[in-house]
Structure 1
Amino acid sequence: MTERSGCPYTALSGPRFETDPAGLYRELREQHGAVAPVVLEGGVRAWLVLGYAEALAVLRDPELFSHDSRLWRDRIKGLVPADWPLASMVEHRPSILCADGAEHRRHGTAVAHSLGRIDRRAFRGEIEHMADSLIDTFVARGEADLLTEYAQRLPLLAMGRLIGLSALEGPHLVRVINGLFDGGPDAPAHQRVLLRMLTDLVEARRITPGADIASWLIEHPSGLTDAEVIEDLLVITPTEPTVNWIGNALRILLTDHTLHASLTGGRRTTDEALDEVLWLDPPMQNVAGRWATEDTLLGRTAIRAGDFLVLGLAGANADPAVRPPGTELTGNRAHLAWGGGPHTCPFQGPARLIAQTAVDTLLDRLPDIRLAVPPRRLTWQASPWIRGLTELPVVFTPDRPVHGGTPWPEPAGTPPPGLEPPPPPAPDEPAPEPAPPADPAPAPTTSTAWWSPSRWLRNR
């Protein structure tokens, strides 16, 4: 990390992220400009990019600012602790997330083409049914925690169906992913189960393709191996940003009565309201990382080859150069919540459809919904990466379920390391025949790297 005499490094951690992250970004901008020196958990130094133009420059130039953490000079020099708790966030992976250049285009083309084959009308219908079914589990009570009972479940149920899991496996996927996010002692068991679920899915779809993302990735002419398909599924299956996008949108709608009235009165669309959330409270507020491939100047800051950069998406969105006070945000999608350049998030279409349907369905079913606590009592995760609530308690007039109100299937206890395999395929999904012998492919790693980022993002 470049040394700067007399220039203090600000800790990018702590309770400030629960109370006033926007104020912290504003102070850093006033002190340092568009690029601020920060220190991450474990004493690791980095540059936090707070300028909108500067962040966009980094996003658009992977040749100068690479995803490849193997370029990290401080790690090469032994300055990063071997047990650094955030190491898994930046570990180089053979997936769309970490690749650059031709390899990224190979993965990106396959993922984008597969996502482009989604039948949006049919998918929206499935999401609506899932949303109604989740609401049915609490509608008769007249109260709920929208985060744990709705926002944390719906995106995973929808994503499970998209990648090719059966309806019976949906609740199982939710429990497994949430078990990973919780980061408790059983997280490794949940890790193994998720890897087994996706491995079984890919092996089955090699033999019996379906109308799902796993099948489309397998059959794409880019020629992804099974291990690569699994790695890409591991990137797109966890839906923490979508969870918090929904949660943050519902919070704003329940606390900003003007916005709520404009939405329910038809003066603003749900899409427009969701984009305002991505400006004001993006679910990913900071993203690690990029590494400079050569000495360069970013804004007015000298960056050396191998320096570690953190993209401050929330800070860049608030840059006065692009969003001065009073800026009208309705209809403006120029925020950086989806990234930019070659690594623009390919999942934004399905994520938007899930979030939009989640909000629309909830407001339609529970028109008098309101917070169960004063807004000031809502608490945020103390994470510099994720911007999300810890809970969202609400009350409403009790009503009857529309689909019978089947209780959410809860496990009898915490799954042990020998967690049972997922349920068998649904009746309309034929079980695959045993696979014929094939050339061995490199197995996907069993490292915790692919799930630990989400666990650390939530900092739970």
Structure 2
Amino acid sequence: MDRTGQTPAACPLRESPVPLYGGLLARDPRHLYDVLHRRWGAIAPVELGPGVAAWLVMGHREVLELVRNERAFSSDARRWNAITEGLLPEDSPLLAVLGWRPALNRLDDQDHRRARHAVTETLNGIDLRRLGSAVRARAGALVHAWAADGAADLVAQYGDPLAWYAFTVLIGLPESAQGEPAALLGALAGGTHDAARAEAELMRVLHRLVARKREVPGPDLTSWLLAHSAHLTEAEVAHNLAAVLLSGGRSTMSWITATLRLLLGDARLHAAVATGRLTVTDAADRALWDGSPVPNIAGRWARSDVLFAGCRVAAGELLIPCLAAANSELLRHGAQDLGSRAHVAWGAGSHGCPAKDVARSIVETAVEVVVERLNALRPAVPDTALRRRPSLWCGTPDELPVVFNPFGPAPGTAAAPPASRVVMGVPEKRRGERAGDGGPAPQRWGWWNSMNGW
């Protein structure tokens, strides 16, 4: 397992874990990861909460080993010793991201392959051209709302609502239902104290959506997952939708912010994109290196006692793949040139992100509209003053205030008609009803309850 040549004596001392919660992450997480890497090397002992120990895996080679070696490392949180030893309360915010659920990113082996096959095939049914048109129309409407002000917050007033709009279109939620789930996702990803309540509310919204789409299928991911030959239950469909929203939706929001922040901080890069000497694709890829939209991904658990990166990792211990640190290591060794996709921003192996093409379509369209329409765009506050939440899972600031030359619509210009929200077809037929599916509405599958009951 260990390819570093280290002996177990080189392990970090278990009695001195670094706390990765509270204000430390809110200041400069990338600097923190660099400090940890210099101090510990490829793997560091950390605490995710008081008394909740884990390993932060920061070496590029070690991150790839961790996410690819499914024989040694599991995605199933029911192995987590913090749970089996009673160290986590039922309402711990850590469970919102790390807890077990019947979804592709928290399953192993055949169960994982079955769920991933259904989600991947369903995502492949999206017409990216139509999605791009819908996103462009909504982006234009968002810009129009504040263009005359000469100032805006490109997170709260643009990137976040635009990405969330795209994902509500994809899963089939009506526009009237956008606000509450967006706030719930923010609470989950931000690790707030009410994450357990937010998880319960989000799952209620998704269960209701799945029940409606069972009765009246539409041109959306929910209907296609219900119709897929993998025969997912309604509960499994709801939890896979939650995974798509939490992993795909939140990472897309962060990627938009990271790309716009990169352009704001690099006048030459911004000018090169604005004049066509570089493409928005180049800038978006650069942001995956420099901006760390998703600094860490949900962890892996050792299936048995193992020697990893020179350290003895006990069965059931949690290891967090730190994508931000892994990319920084590549940068230090000169592996990145503009546009290179050697980064690990999408993860790797069989659990790599299945929605990267969808995310790229949304992000590039969002950035293109800003570059095309906002003249003399510049930051309203220094980058170091940007507000950010202390979260392992959010790599970008919570705000991006900018100023620009104000403008309004040309006299006599009529508002453009709204673009179609249809980005995929309707399933031709639903899968046959199976025993149990026509019974009472499914119970609330809280992720903590799922650990105890499934």
- Range of TM-score over shorter length: 0.7 to 0.9
Deviation (angstroms), 1:153:
0.3
Match of 2:279 in 1: 269
Match of 1:232 in 2: 240
Match of 2:6 in 1: none
> So what's the TM-score if we normalise by structure 2?
0.83
Of the three residues 152, 164, 174, the one matched with 1:156 is 164
Check if 1:98 corresponds to 2:106. Answer: yes
Check if 1:246 corresponds to 2:251. Answer: no
Change (3 A) 1:392 1:339: same
Match of 1:447 in 2: 446
Deviation (angstroms), 1:171:
5.2
Three-state SS of the structure 2 residue aligned to 1:386 is: coil
Deviation by residue 1:21-74 (Cα, 9 ceiling, x = unmatched): 233222222222211111222221111101111110111112211011221234
Match of 2:266 in 1: 256
Task: Tell me the distance in 2 between the aligned counterparts of 1:307 and 1:92.
Answer: 15
> So what's the TM-score if we normalise by structure 1?
0.82
Task: Tell me the distance in 1 between the aligned counterparts of 2:315 and 2:336.
Answer: 39
Task: Tell me the distance in 2 between the aligned counterparts of 1:13 and 1:113.
Answer: 37
2:199–2:446 contact (8 Å) kept in structure 1 = no
Deviation by residue 1:224-280 (Cα, 9 ceiling, x = unmatched): 111111111111124222111111211110111121122112222211211111111
Check if 1:135 corresponds to 2:134. Answer: no
Q: Which amino acid aligns with 2:251?
A: P
Task: Tell me the distance in 1 between the aligned counterparts of 2:190 and 2:325.
Answer: 27
Residue pairs, 1:4-403, within 5 angstroms? 8-80=16-88, 84-170=92-178, 173-174=181-182, 177=185, 194-238=202-246, 239-319=249-329, 322-324=330-332, 326-401=334-409
More helix by share: 2
Change (3 A) 1:444 1:397: farther
2:45–2:55 contact (8 Å) kept in structure 1 = yes
Deviation (angstroms), 1:192:
6.2
Match of 1:453 in 2: none
1:47–1:308 contact (8 Å) kept in structure 2 = yes
Q: Unaligned stretches of 5+ in structure 2?
A: 1-8, 418-425, 427-432, 450-454
Paired residues, number: 419
Deviation by residue 1:349-379 (Cα, 9 ceiling, x = unmatched): 1111111111001111113221122333223
Q: Which amino acid aligns with 2:376?
A: D
Task: Tell me the distance in 1 between the aligned counterparts of 2:335 and 2:75.
Answer: 33
1:226–1:441 contact (8 Å) kept in structure 2 = no
Change (3 A) 1:171 1:125: farther
Task: Tell me the distance in 1 between the aligned counterparts of 2:340 and 2:113.
Answer: 28
Change (3 A) 1:260 1:449: farther
Q: Which amino acid aligns with 1:61?
A: N
Three-state SS of the structure 2 residue aligned to 1:138 is: helix
Task: Tell me the distance in 2 between the aligned counterparts of 1:156 and 1:5.
Answer: 43
Change (3 A) 1:41 1:230: same
Deviation by residue 1:76-117 (Cα, 9 ceiling, x = unmatched): 234455664423332211111211111111110010001001
2:14–2:45 contact (8 Å) kept in structure 1 = no
2:389–2:398 contact (8 Å) kept in structure 1 = yes
1:157–1:174 contact (8 Å) kept in structure 2 = no
Task: Tell me the distance in 1 between the aligned counterparts of 2:56 and 2:188.
Answer: 28
Three-state SS of the structure 1 residue aligned to 2:332 is: coil
Task: Tell me the distance in 2 between the aligned counterparts of 1:313 and 1:251.
Answer: 19
Three-state SS of the structure 2 residue aligned to 1:24 is: helix
More deviation, 298-307/71-80: 71-80
Q: What fraction of aligned residue pairs are identical, expressed as a percent? A: 36
